[in-house]
Amino acid sequence: MQDPNADTEWNDALRRHGILPAKKEKEFTEDEIVNLVENTVQEKLREDGQKRIEDMTIEELDFIEDEEDERVLLEYRQKRLQEMKEQAAKEIFGDVRDISAVDYVEQVNNAGPGVWVVLHLYKQGIPLCTMLNNYLYRLSKKFPAVKFLRSISDTCIANYPDKNLPTIFVYYEGQMKHKLIGPEAFGNLNFKADELEWMLAEMGVLKTDLECNPRKQVEDVLLSSLRGSCLGSDDW
């Protein structure tokens, strides 16, 4: 009797017509799979006219490593160039632009996909407003992918109360995401540019290179000074 598992044309025909069951796929062990892969690699090397890896000299192996390193570096360089091109395409601002009410929709709501907008409402003669304008100008140079705008408050929003100044509105893709309203939001004239940068970074507007919250550093120093003063007073 003919073996139904034998690889013959007759058995293949019977299998196609469903008379014999289909052959089971051979199950490979992990070691067999590793050997198959290794044999495939070695066969490819022979087809390409290369030696088996175990037959290569130290110099030949070093050469292969150098080629691999060069390939990896080239791929990394191409990736970085692409990232730099994409970043440069976003960095189209780099200044603080003045707007009025008629510009609001176009400049803020229609800023475009992926664009963060930081709008400062201010008035001349308010020291904290003046200070924030200076900070925003510096940040606009450091983060040219962010659209920094400013507008005299009552020319942008009719009857906007002075008690709410300074005000910063933060938009992303036309939607307001954050707002900082009034002097209390910023502290006082000791408020630093680094603190504003950190606040915007926490909102997701920009990626800062600051390692920690500058305001917390100041608070820690003040607390340490107060503790020192209290300890000193006990000595009297």
Closest CA to 196 of 96, 112, 123: 96
**Tokens matching residue 207:** 């990626």
pLDDT at 63: 66
pLDDT at 77: 66
Cα separation of 129 and 163, whole Å?
12
Share of the chain above pLDDT 90, in %: 44
pLDDT at 22: 67
Question: Does pLDDT of 26 surpass 80?
Answer: no
Of 25 and 234, more confident: 25
What are the pLDDT digits (tens) for 68-99? 666 655 676 677 666 666 655 556 788 999 99
**Tokens matching residue 83:** 């990232």
159 Cα distance to chain centroid: 39
pLDDT at 69: 62
Closest CA to 160 of 126, 190, 121, 187: 121
Read off the pLDDT of each residue in 191-217 and give the average, rounded to a whole number. Answer: 90
216 Cα distance to chain centroid: 25
The lowest-confidence range among 40-44, 118-122, 168-172, 217-221 is 217-221
pLDDT at 68: 62
